[in-house]
Chains A and B, each alone.
Chain A
Amino acid sequence: ETGVTQSPTHLIKTRGQQVTLRCSSQSGHNTVSWYQQALGQGPQFIFQYYREEENGRGNFPPRFSGLQFPNYSSELNVNALELDDSALYLCASSSDGGGVETQYFGPGTRLLVL
């Protein structure tokens, strides 16, 4: 148990729809990172939030957006879903604003876009 939870665990959407994925970090963790993991691949960095502000972004289009809340929860929103968005979405929390502390991963949300 890492103390990081994600919801839902599985989700099926159709192309063009919007989706919101949720992550609850460990208490006191002010940094959350989101990753997309396609089948058979390593995770790819989407973005990171530190103290409720975006603190770095990977090579993902603007239809991927996020929010971080003061209660250590965060959201990943994806608009205009495409088939290639089907993946496992992982969040990871830490307490260091992107430094060298251990990252604690959630179990992931598996999204299928039809």
Chain B
Amino acid sequence: KNEVEQSPQNLTAQEGEFITINCSYSVGISALHWLQQHPGGGIVSLFMLSSGKKKHGRLIATINIQEKHSSLHITASHPRDSAVYICAVRRIQGAQKLVFGQGTRLTINP
């Protein structure tokens, strides 16, 4: 079983819909990252969380440390939000590396 699991793996929605992507992890962590990867490969860091909730524009990220779960929400989704969204955690043990989920491919249709 992967240490970081994301759901769903693929998500297609209509423009304007509210989007939720989930991430569960099984190890103790010091931080969790949400990343966005567009076709062509470049990765952009969206959020880094160690507790609570963060908001940036239409994006909201939450984390529940006790339940080992995080969610990324997109409000008023737009076709330009189409990308792969990746959850990655920094373990307390072996903190040098990020452990990545497999990603969620999001497609927003106009």
* A residues at B contact (CB < 8 Å): 2, 33, 35, 37, 40-45, 48, 50, 55-56, 58, 88, 90, 92, 98-108, 110
Contact = CB atoms under 8 A, between A and B. Distances in A.
Interface of B: 4, 30-31, 33, 35, 40-45, 48, 50, 86, 88, 90, 94-103
Contacts, number: 71
Given A40-B102, A105-B35, 8 more contacts: A2-B44, A42-B101, A43-B98, A56-B96, A88-B41, A99-B95, A103-B98, A110-B41
Nearest to B100: A42
4 shortest interchain CB distances as A-B pairs: A56-B96, A42-B100, A45-B97, A108-B41
B98 A45 contact: yes
Contact of A105 (B4, B31, B44): B44
B38 to A, nearest CB: 10
A90 B4 CA distance: 19
Given A48-B97, A55-B96, A103 B42 contact: no
B49 to A, nearest CB: 10
9 contacts: A33-B97, A42-B4, A43-B88, A45-B98, A90-B43, A98-B96, A100-B48, A102-B48, A108-B43
A98 B45 contact: no
A98 B30 CA distance: 11
